[in-house]
Amino acid sequence: MLIVVVGGGLGEPLPATTNFYPANDPLLAYTDCITPSFVGGYARFRRPISDPSQGYDYAMPGARLRFRSNAATVNVYVRYNGLIIRTDARNTIGSVLVDGVLKQTFQSPPPINTVALASLPIVNVGSADRLYEVILPYADGVEFGGVEVDKPYVVTAAAARTGRLMVCYGDSITQGFYATDTLKGWPYLLAAAEGLRCINMGYGGWQAQPSDGTVIANLSPDLITILIGTNEYLNQIPVATYQANLSALITNIHNINSTVPIYISGIIYNGNSLTIPWSSYNAVAGNVIAALGYSQLVGVGSGTLITNPGTQMQDVTHPNDAGNVQMAAGWGAVVT
């Protein structure tokens, strides 16, 4: 039997003994992400800030495929698309939750950036109606190709994921590096603790760009976090340039939505010692808040995000898993 569905379906022969639900089936929901496009039967994710030199726009950290099924074994078809250009900083570990509990992890096969198709079997003890959530890695291009279960078992729609929508904007510290996996990054932890949905707009190596404010605002968030400036510090971008770009970025958000809460932190601890000191860059967020005077702006002290660099940093720039826990707690103490 050949499955052929416009915009979805694998176009592969599948056993007559199974029920197959293509990637664009309305019973399959995609949340905590930009709405995917459907390419060759697979749901492809691409974030709306283009990153041509690295391809991190094809990473969708924390995106979820959600559905229910009464089958004991569920097969999720995935494609690793190889569209992320940068290979030196990657994390390919995804996670599977069943009824909200971590069931297993999965990751792309070596070598990095090899286009590969795979079936992800999720095996339970006995048949029962369960909620499935397949969560994408923070630095790999992964696409969903549909879900297969043995007959007579079926897939049904999951209840809509609720909670306010948080957009987290930043660089690699927001994207997730170097947490063990997406579930241990601070945006995921913060969203879980506060009952939020989350679109992660952190891009490794990123610097503040005014046009990004328009992109963020057009995602219609209920709240925004901004943690940007570490790469300005590492590249010794003039502080005045960084401040002007951050100010313009926030002004562009304000021009579209003047009430959405924007939580802004100075840059977290950094162990590099450079000519223009870290403290000059750390002060920029507060300077911008004071200069703009928008009531929607809320400062978050960077010292609450990393409280002990000796135990909370993976390297001189990125938090480890313990650091991500602390960062989520620091944001969570202010985010309302």
Q: What are phi and psi of 259, to 5 degrees?
A: -120, -20
- Residue pair 139/177 in contact (Cβ under 8 Å)? The answer is yes
From 156, 183, 215, the end of a domain falls on: 156
- Residue pair 24/8 in contact (Cβ under 8 Å)? The answer is yes
Please give the pLDDT value at position 111. Answer: 85
Cα 90 from Cα 6, distance rounded (Å): 33
Please give the pLDDT value at position 283. Answer: 98
For residue 311, count CB atoms less than 10 angstroms from its CB and return exposed for 0-12, middle for 13-18, buried for 19 or more: exposed
Token output for 260:
């959405």
Residues 112 and 32 in one domain: yes
Question: Does an H or E element contain 211, and which?
Answer: helix 210-217
Per the structure, the count of domains in the chain is 2
From 102, 137, 156, the end of a domain falls on: 156
For residue 164, count CB atoms less than 10 angstroms from its CB and return exposed for 0-12, middle for 13-18, buried for 19 or more: middle
Please give the pLDDT value at position 2. Answer: 32
For residue 120, count CB atoms less than 10 angstroms from its CB and return exposed for 0-12, middle for 13-18, buried for 19 or more: middle
Please give the pLDDT value at position 252. Answer: 98
Which ranges of the chain have pLDDT less than 50? 1-7
Q: Is residue 13 part of a domain?
A: no
Cα 43 from Cα 133, distance rounded (Å): 15
Q: Is residue 310 part of a domain?
A: yes
Please give the pLDDT value at position 179. Answer: 97
From 99, 122, 156, the end of a domain falls on: 156
- Residue pair 140/106 in contact (Cβ under 8 Å)? The answer is no
In Å, the largest CA–CA distance within the chain is 68
Residues 137 and 267 in one domain: no
